[in-house]
Amino acid sequence: MIDLSSNEAASLVKLATRGAGYPWGVGEEAAYASRWFAEHQVPSLSVFSQLLEWSDHYSLEALTIDLGAKSWVGRSGDMCPLLAGCSISDLASRLDQGQSIVLEKVVFAIVLLPFFHLVSLELQSPITARWADGELKCDAATQGSISTSDSVRDQLQTRHTPRTITIIRDDLISDSLQSWPIAETLRVSVDVQSLNGLKQLAHRTYAPATEQSRLSGAGAGTSDND
């Protein structure tokens, strides 16, 4: 395993997200999610490596979501959690008005958690996500912000997660749930395969060197040894 700073991991995630075909603005949100993961002991780079490997098979248009009135549906069938998270965050006010947001077939649902945090922060209220056999509460005002069961935590680490997730502004939830652990340090541990996968995606954002670029791009040409 390789040890990275949270900032290094977030920078890599941002570039890899862009390299995988998402726009820069979504890359900023992915970087935010990576930082949130580092604080919450989620293996950020492993999650993003798998997510971006999955999304790399689709065009950006295919990954977009139909934000229907009753439920949101990914145009490719499965739903991209990154774009879903962005829209949940954008539409925080919808939850404030008592409406729910229903997501169908989200993959890597753990990526939604940093966005739940943003919504809870904005609404200054807990929000709840429920599905057939699990639930979690996000309250940005509490340490760790997420409360859930151990089995849900395990479930969220996998790609295939519940078919239908309903998100509401609601603090009525079982008190028996466990707080999500907070990391003592901000370090990110990553396996070589995930790291290399993300680096390859990030590499797509770098322009191949040309002689013109080498000579003029960074402004050389004047002595720098005097």
Partner 1 sequence: MHDNRMSDTPPYAGPKQDDKTLPQSSAHNAPASPAQWRSPADVMRLSRLGSFHQCRLSFMRILTRRMQREKWHLSTQEFAIDDNGVGHALYSMQGPDRTYTLIAFAHDLPDELRSDRVIATAWDATFALFDGVPSTEDVTRLSKNVPVQEAGRVSPTELTLSRANRSVRLWEHVVSELAQGRQPDTELIDSVGYLMRTTAVYGSGKFGASDRQGIASRSEFSAPFQAEMLTVYLIRTFVRDLVQHMAHCRGGDATAKLSPTIARGLGIGNSTGLGMAPFLINHPQLFNNWIVVREEALVRVRNQPSATKQQIECFENVLERSVVSVDNWHSAHAIQAEKIVELKRDIESLRQHTASMNLSDEFPWNRLYEWGAENLCVEAQECLVSLMMEPYGDIIDGLDECMSAPDTGIPRIDGAMSLAQLADLIREHYSWALAIDWDEKESSARAWYVSEEKLEPRLGERHEEPIESYEQPLAPARDIVQLYRVITELNAELLTAEFLMQQPQHRYAVRRLQLCARSPYAEIQDNTISAALVPFDMLRCKLAFFGAIHFDPRSDRWLRICLYANAPYPEELAEADADTWVYPQLPVKP
Using CB under 8 A as the criterion, which residues of the chain lie in contact with partner 1 when the complex forms? 3-8, 22-26, 28-29, 31-32, 35-36, 60, 64-65, 67, 83, 86-87, 89-94, 114, 117-118, 121-122, 185-187, 203, 205-210, 212-214, 216-222, 224-226
Smallest distance from partner 1 to CB 23, Å: 4
Q: Which is nearer to partner 1, 83 or 138 (CB)?
A: 83
Q: What DSSP designation does 5 have?
A: -
Q: Establish how many alpha carbons lie within 13 A of residue 94's alpha carbon, considering only the half-sphere containing its beta carbon.
A: 15
Query: From CA 150, how far away is CA 177, in angstroms rounded?
Result: 8
Closest contact distance (angstroms) between CB of 206 and partner 1 is 4
Nearest-angstrom CA–CA distance, 71 and 153: 24
Q: Which of 209, 198, 191 shows the shortest CA–CA distance to 20?
A: 198
Closest CB to partner 1 among 60 and 177?
A: 60
- Give whichever of 56 and 90 is closer to partner 1, judged by the CB atom: 90
How many other β-carbons are positioned within 10 Å of the β-carbon of residue 98?
9
Beta bridge partners of 189: 3
The nearer residue to partner 1, 4 or 112, going by C-beta atoms, is 4
Judged by beta carbon, residue 124 or residue 174, the one nearer partner 1 is 124
Kindly state the smallest distance separating residue 4's Cβ from partner 1, in Å: 7
Least distance between partner 1 and beta carbon 13 (Å): 13
Contact 119, 89 (CB under 8 A): yes
DSSP 183: P
- Residue length, the chain? 226
CB of 77 to partner 1, least distance (A): 17
